Amino acid sequence: MDLEKLRETAAEVVAREDVKYLIGWKNGSYGYRVAPAFIEDAEGAAELIFSPLCISNLSTYLTLVEKLPLPRGQEPDTRKIALMVKGCDSRAVTQLLVEKGIERDGVVVIGCPCPGMIDYDLLAEKYPETEGLSEVKWTDDGFLVIRDGEETNVTRDELLAEKCRLCRYPNPLISDIMLGEPVETWEPAEDKGVEEVDKKDVNGRWAYWEEQFSNCIRCYSCRNVCPLCYCQDCILDRLNPTWVNRAVNFSENTAFNIARAFHLAGRCIECGECERVCPANIPLGRLNRKMAREVRDKYGFEPGLDPEAEPFQASYKPDDPEDFIL
């Protein structure tokens, strides 16, 4: 992507009277770090980047930052929020529109066709971070890693993030402004993570998730980063009545994680943020992708594709397949 074009476009957008600010990515403080950027003027737009390191889904800020109610005496700022999105991010924006979590005239969507993002863990394992800023760029057949002034060409398969290997929609599905030409889509890889769990028997699957959920420290990072977990009053936080206790043990951890998975059924857009931020390295993507596959295969429904669609759990089609119903 042409960075100059990106920054020029961003500067034009934030200069509009009807735009409050733009949310994008900028370089972090060291190494491969990339941080969210809230841009309010042309000077800030000069910091924006879009690279294989911009893996985070920024759409969560649409509901995380702009929360009501306002402090007493403060008038609401009704200007639009501009947001840079990849393909998977755009599905989150679309799903928020479907659920009336945001209003279409309240957001300016800047589409960024995505050739695929880097897996930070794989990158840092092979090419450790340095104190100075490092860079990663796309090449025709992979990535160019630049650290300490040294350039290294790396194949795509070596560092590509799992969610990108499985991605079916690398190009934004909704946008007001598109930066660059659409990328050529690729054949999604086989989801070996879900297959690994699926091939186990019932007891084996239970043992697998028992081991995983026992590691959960209930930090709620998965919930906080998820663009579709935006309820102001989360039922899992309620103490009267208490649905899930605060104790960190296998029973309560299981209740929390399964409740989240079912809450996301027909809503999860498979951006992989929950697994990416989990400090306990729980493979939450496998659980959510399994639910997404069941909804897709049994009901022919995928969330985040059509802003005019009905929410999955509030819709009905006479031609729904029924052969799986006992």
202/286 same-domain check: yes
The percent helix, strand, coil of the chain (3-state, each to 5) is 35, 15, 50
How many DSSP H helices and E strands does the chain contain?
13, 9
Task: Dig out the tokens for 23 from the structure.
Answer: 């949310």
286/158 same-domain check: no
State the virtual CA torsion across 260, 266, 272, 278 in degrees, nearest 10.
Answer: 0
12/132 same-domain check: yes
For residue 321, the model assigns a pLDDT of 67
For residue 81, the model assigns a pLDDT of 96
Domain closes at, from 131, 154, 178: 178
Domain assignment present for residue 131? The answer is yes
Domain assignment present for residue 130? The answer is yes
167/18 same-domain check: yes
Strands 48-49 and 80-85: unpaired
Would you say 282 and 213 are in contact if contact means Cβ atoms under 8 Å apart?
yes
Q: Report the alpha-carbon distance of residue 25 to residue 179 in Å, rounded.
A: 14
pLDDT in tens, the chain (326 residues): 789 999 999 999 999 999 999 999 999 999 999 999 999 998 999 999 999 999 999 999 999 876 667 778 888 888 999 999 999 999 999 999 999 999 999 999 999 999 999 999 999 999 998 888 999 999 999 999 999 889 999 999 999 999 999 999 999 999 999 998 999 999 999 999 999 999 999 999 999 999 999 999 999 999 999 999 998 888 888 878 888 877 788 889 999 999 999 999 999 999 999 999 999 999 999 999 999 999 999 888 999 999 999 898 877 677 776 666 65
65/196 same-domain check: no
Domain assignment present for residue 13? The answer is yes
Domain assignment present for residue 128? The answer is yes
126/212 same-domain check: no
Domain assignment present for residue 281? The answer is yes
Domain that holds residue 255: 192-314
- Indicate the helix (H) or strand (E) that contains 187: none
Q: Report the alpha-carbon distance of residue 101 to residue 71 in Å, rounded.
A: 21
Task: Dig out the tokens for 278 from the structure.
Answer: 């989990």
For residue 247, the model assigns a pLDDT of 79
Domain assignment present for residue 323? The answer is no
174/198 same-domain check: no
Distance of CA 162 to the CA centre of its chain: 13
For residue 326, the model assigns a pLDDT of 53
CA torsion sign, 293 to 298 to 304 to 306?
positive
Which of these, 107, 78, 100, 222, lies nearest to 172 by C-alpha position?
107
Domain closes at, from 178, 208, 242: 178
174/197 same-domain check: no
119/200 same-domain check: no
- Specify the number of domains making up the chain: 2
Domain assignment present for residue 290? The answer is yes
Which residues lie below 8 Å from residue 270, measured CB to CB, with a gap of 6+?
88, 91, 163, 166, 285, 288, 289, 292
Which residues lie below 8 Å from residue 224, measured CB to CB, with a gap of 6+?
64
Q: Which amino acid is located at 59 in the chain?
A: S
For residue 324, the model assigns a pLDDT of 64
DSSP 8: H
Q: Report the alpha-carbon distance of residue 89 to residue 112 in Å, rounded.
A: 10
- Indicate the helix (H) or strand (E) that contains 222: helix 221-225
If DSSP codes are grouped into helix, strand and coil, which group holds residue 202?
A: helix
For residue 313, the model assigns a pLDDT of 80
Which residues lie below 8 Å from residue 231, measured CB to CB, with a gap of 6+?
none
Domain assignment present for residue 285? The answer is yes
40/87 same-domain check: yes
306/163 same-domain check: no
- Nearest 5°: CA angle at 264, between 107 and 209? 140
65/210 same-domain check: no
Q: Report the alpha-carbon distance of residue 79 to residue 138 in Å, rounded.
A: 35
Q: Report the alpha-carbon distance of residue 316 to residue 323 in Å, rounded.
A: 16
Domain closes at, from 178, 202, 218: 178
